[in-house]
């Protein structure tokens, strides 16, 4: 029985009508399905066997094959023929009663799958027969959106005039027009979309077509959009900010500036083009903005961030130098009291730290809670920056608003971001004490987890020896376990060695 079924489906796939006739006359079941839930008609339609399709429908006395849906993949014969681009079979099935709307809820239409597969003749035929080009799949994606996504630009250009729902948002809040602007779509497609009525500023998308063209450095498209559409001043400012996210969009920025875009106009997060360009690290872009009236000391309206802070965060010394040369103030703070030095990033750039201090930024400047950058690096176990800061004048004994030194902050584990790996914490403690820091806190504040780390584990197991002095041991820095529990004070010779006295 299984052999007869296999032979039946093989004959349908091969288009062997005589063999099909023989098998059916010998008792094979015309309505049997394979392991994918497909019928012999589906198999023949998918493989482009027109005469086989004709023969099977003539034998279908129950009228079940035409609208049958595969149990596994939810396909019909019409869907499979469209998917593989067999326009002759699609036409034959439609002429013999195949319904355009036969599909499980949410699955793709034959037109959808044919468009994505780039079968223009099939798509044209289905549109002529009345299939809706806007019907989405279960994820809300339309045929137009998918053809653009898969770079079937000629197909999308053909489809666009047949679509009414041109502004449907996908899961990334892109409309077909925004997606086309974002990708390297053909200019002709974008023109057709706009001419067909696609909204260049969809209200819920968060971006305009001009934003996307600027962000993805499409000069010709930006020029065409500005010539074709009347943009508000704020929309021009927004496009300029998006252009500043790139390091190769100087031409677009120059064009937008000539059209009235303001390098100092902020977005909802308080950032203007001056901030974005400084953070992006494009020296040419920053120079262009300054020449066009960009304020090198522009204060972010939300958090008070300055262009110099953005440059140090990147980090980019060339941009920082450019800003300073044009009058950026070294002593400005943000609304939390942080200076440019505090913005050197989570992974502190040692050369940027040294550069800023050389340029006159105070290494011991404190934020609103009294923390110097050395406190912050200690808090977050950024041990690589400790040496750079101390060697450039950072005070090991500076105290924050809670009367804590950097070393005290470093050992208060509950205030750190993570305890997953004690390596960086041990390295930070080591370097602070190696450079002369003295642990000054009450014995009861000595963290239990630190005790377990030293008692139960070999410190050498935690240390990347290639990055640390040979023979490193936390106890070598001057702390013994008895002293840690009783007085939390280092050995006297450590203080004498580094020229510090206990405070």
Cβ-based neighbour number of residue 18 at 10 Å: 9
Q: Are 151 and 107 in contact (CB under 8 A)?
A: no
| Residue 350: inside a domain | no
Of 87, 105, 131, the one marking the end of a domain is 131
pLDDT at site 71: 83
pLDDT at site 274: 98
Distance CA(138)–CA(299), nearest Å, equals 46
Distance CA(278)–CA(265), nearest Å, equals 15
pLDDT at site 441: 57
DSSP H helices in 405-480: 406-411, 423-434, 448-456
CATH of the domain at 56: 1.25.40.20
| Residue 157: inside a domain | no
Query: Pick from 92, 91, 87, 108: which is nearest to 56 by CA?
Result: 92
The domain of 39 spans 1-131
| Residue 168: inside a domain | no
pLDDT at site 495: 35
- Percentages (nearest 5) of helix, strand, coil residues in the chain: 50, 0, 50
Distance CA(290)–CA(387), nearest Å, equals 35
Of 89, 116, 131, the one marking the end of a domain is 131
Distance CA(74)–CA(94), nearest Å, equals 19
Distance CA(49)–CA(31), nearest Å, equals 18
Per-residue pLDDT of the chain (503 residues; tens, 9 = 90+): 678 889 999 999 999 999 999 999 999 999 999 998 999 999 999 999 999 999 999 999 999 999 999 888 888 999 999 999 999 999 999 999 999 887 766 688 999 999 999 999 999 999 999 999 999 988 889 999 999 999 999 999 999 999 999 999 998 899 999 999 998 788 899 999 999 999 999 988 889 999 999 999 889 999 999 999 999 999 999 999 999 999 889 999 999 999 999 999 999 899 999 999 999 978 999 999 999 999 999 999 999 999 999 999 888 899 999 999 999 999 999 999 999 999 986 567 788 999 999 999 999 999 999 999 999 998 888 888 898 899 999 999 999 999 999 998 887 755 444 545 567 778 888 889 889 888 765 554 444 544 444 444 444 443 333 333 322 333 344 433 343 333 333 334 333 333 444 43
pLDDT at site 411: 78
Q: Say which DSSP state 299 is in.
A: P
pLDDT at site 105: 61
Three-state helix/strand/coil letters over 16-76 = CHHHHHHHHHCCCCCCCCCCCCCCHHHHHHHCCCHHHHHHHHHHCCCCCCCCCCCCCCCCC
| Residue 330: inside a domain | no
Cβ-based neighbour number of residue 29 at 10 Å: 13
Phi, psi for 296 (deg, rounded to 5): -70, -15
Cβ-based neighbour number of residue 302 at 10 Å: 14
Domains in the chain, number: 2
| Residue 263: inside a domain | no
| Residue 151: inside a domain | no
pLDDT at site 473: 37
Query: Pick from 24, 61, 23, 67: which is nearest to 45 by CA?
Result: 67
């Amino acid at each position: 029985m299984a052999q007869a079924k296999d032979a039946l489906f093989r004959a349908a796939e091969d288009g062997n009508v005589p063999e099909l006739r023989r098998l059916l006359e010998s008792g094979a079941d015309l309505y049997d399905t394979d392991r994918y839930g497909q019928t012999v008609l589906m198999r023949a339609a998918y493989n482009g066997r027109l005469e086989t399709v004709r023969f099977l429908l003539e034998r279908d006395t129950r009228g079940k094959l035409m609208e049958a849906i595969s149990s596994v993949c939810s396909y019909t014969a019409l869907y499979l023929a469209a998917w593989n681009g067999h326009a002759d079979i699609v036409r034959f099935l439609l002429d013999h009663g195949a319904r355009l709307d036969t599909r499980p809820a949410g699955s793709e239409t034959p037109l959808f799958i044919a468009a994505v597969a780039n079968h223009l003749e099939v798509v044209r035929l289905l549109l002529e027969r009345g299939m809706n080009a806007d019907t989405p799949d279960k994820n809300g994606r339309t045929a137009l959106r998918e053809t653009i996504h898969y770079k079937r630009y000629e197909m999308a250009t053909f489809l666009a005039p047949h679509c009414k729902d041109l502004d449907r948002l996908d899961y990334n809040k892109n409309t077909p027009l925004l997606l086309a602007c974002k990708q390297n779509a053909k200019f002709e497609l974008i023109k057709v979309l706009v001419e067909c009525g696609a909204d260049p500023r969809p209200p819920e998308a968060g971006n305009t077509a001009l934003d996307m063209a600027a962000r993805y450095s499409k000069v010709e498209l930006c020029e065409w959009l500005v010539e074709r559409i009347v943009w508000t001043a704020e929309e021009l400012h927004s496009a300029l900010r998006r252009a500043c996210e790139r390091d190769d969009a100087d031409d677009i920025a120059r064009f937008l500036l000539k059209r009235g875009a303001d390098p100092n106009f902020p977005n909802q997060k308080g950032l203007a083009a001056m901030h974005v360009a400084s953070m992006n690290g494009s020296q040419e872009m920053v120079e262009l903005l300054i020449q066009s009236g960009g304020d090198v000391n522009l204060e972010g309206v939300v958090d008070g961030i300055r262009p110099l802070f953005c440059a140090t965060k990147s980090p980019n010394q060339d941009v920082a130098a450019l800003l300073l040369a044009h009058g950026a103030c070294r002593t400005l703070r943000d609304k939390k009291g942080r200076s440019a030095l505090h913005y050197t990033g989570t992974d502190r750039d040692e050369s940027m730290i040294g550069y800023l201090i050389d340029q006159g930024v105070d290494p011991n400047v404190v934020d609103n809670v009294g923390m110097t950058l050395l406190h912050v690096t200690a808090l977050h176990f950024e041990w690589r920056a400790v040496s750079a800061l101390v060697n450039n004048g950072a005070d090991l004994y500076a105290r924050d608003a809670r009367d804590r030194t950097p070393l005290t902050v470093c050992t208060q584990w509950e205030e750190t971001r993570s305890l997953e790996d004690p390596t960086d914490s041990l390295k930070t403690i080591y370097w602070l004490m190696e450079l002369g820091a003295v642990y000054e806190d009450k014995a009861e504040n000595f963290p239990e987890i630190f005790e377990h780390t030293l008692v139960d584990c070999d410190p050498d197991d935690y240390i990347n020896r290639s990055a640390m002095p040979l023979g490193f041991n936390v106890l070598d820095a001057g702390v013994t376990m008895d002293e840690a529990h009783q007085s939390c004070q280092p050995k006297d010779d450590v203080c004498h060695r580094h020229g510090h006295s206990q405070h």
